[in-house]
Chain A
Amino acid sequence: VSGETIGGGCPLQDDAAAYVLGALEPAEVERYRNHLTRCAPCRKEVEALQPVVQRLRSGMPPAEPPGRVLEQVMAQVRAEADLLRSAEALPEAFGARSAGGARRRRVPRSFALAGALACALGALVLALAPGGSRQRLLVSASVSPALEGARGTVVEQGGVGRLVLEHMPQPPHGKIYELWVARPGGQPEATGTLFTVTSGGLAQVGLPRDLRRIAEVMVTAEPLGGTSRPTEPPLVDVRL
């Protein structure tokens, strides 16, 4: 039977796949290992799925060098920002009737941005972890009190860094988050990365490849389309 699974009856049966993929939360791993010593169905499920992941691990090198994919992701985000700028400049174009007579539905900006972010994220994760390597926390960010409860961290995985933001509010109306970096003793430089956050307040943003040359990573809220210089103090500030 296609897709047949083994660990029937146990409420933790679905944890087997997450376990072999390394996707359980750290606190859950030990608990699940203990469970496996007592639960034969789950043990069988793990034994059945483990070889699949081992085979993936040994046979799936990244299709392209991570840096190349990362550049493509950032280009995709920039292209989406350009598209949004065009939409702002020509608002009627989106509402005009097409040749077929049907009125086009204007894509909400938030949806377009979310789509761009989702696409970027999808490609980015492929770039970040060749061989299934785990991420490593580098440093936590200072976050403006205005972003109550928000948290930022810079993590490194497979030689590529990213800024992970949690519990972030949506950018203010008419604004978008922009990522900046500064070299030691230097001024903030635009990275061209514009982003928003998920409904759950999460964002993951790729950083320039050579983190050793970067002293500081910042995030500000800027007008849609971004700016070449920050117009306000950083909301998120990470000193590397």
Chain B
Amino acid sequence: VVARRQESAALRSALALIPDEQRKVIELAFFGGFTHTEIATMTGLAVGTVKGRMRLGLSKLRDELSGKVGSL
């Protein structure tokens, strides 16, 4: 249980470190189950921008997680 809490805290910390606009599209996709087209409609962004932010955000999240907690 402690390890799970630590992992959850590490993930939340890492998520908090990526730019807001990138975190938002990742959260909408991951937690909300929305597609990139739906997210583009909701946010008023171009589809390409949404996908680009997803990619940059996940890449930064990978860097944060691999550099600070555990390994991927």
Contact = CB atoms under 8 A, between A and B. Distances in A.
Interface of A: 2-5, 13-18, 20-25, 45, 48-49, 51-53, 55-56, 58-61, 121-122, 124-126, 128-130, 132-135, 157, 198-200, 202, 204
Given A55-B65, A59-B8, A18 B44 contact: no
A151 to B, nearest CB: 13
Nearest to A62: B31
Contacts of B68: none
Q: Which of B24, B54, B61 has the most CB of A within 10 A?
A: B54
Contacts of B65: 52, 55
A133 B31 CA distance: 8
Nearest to A51: B72
Interface of B: 4, 7-8, 10-12, 24, 26-39, 41-42, 44, 48, 50-52, 54-63, 65, 72
Contacts of A132: 30-31, 33
Contacts of A122: 24, 27
A55 B33 contact: no
B31 A128 contact: yes
A198 B40 CA distance: 11
Contacts of B32: 124-126, 128-129
Contacts of B48: 14
B34 to A, nearest CB: 7
Contacts of B57: 17
Contacts of A124: 32
Contact of B42 (A17, A21, A202): A202
B59 A126 contact: no
Contact of B30 (A2, A25, A53): A53
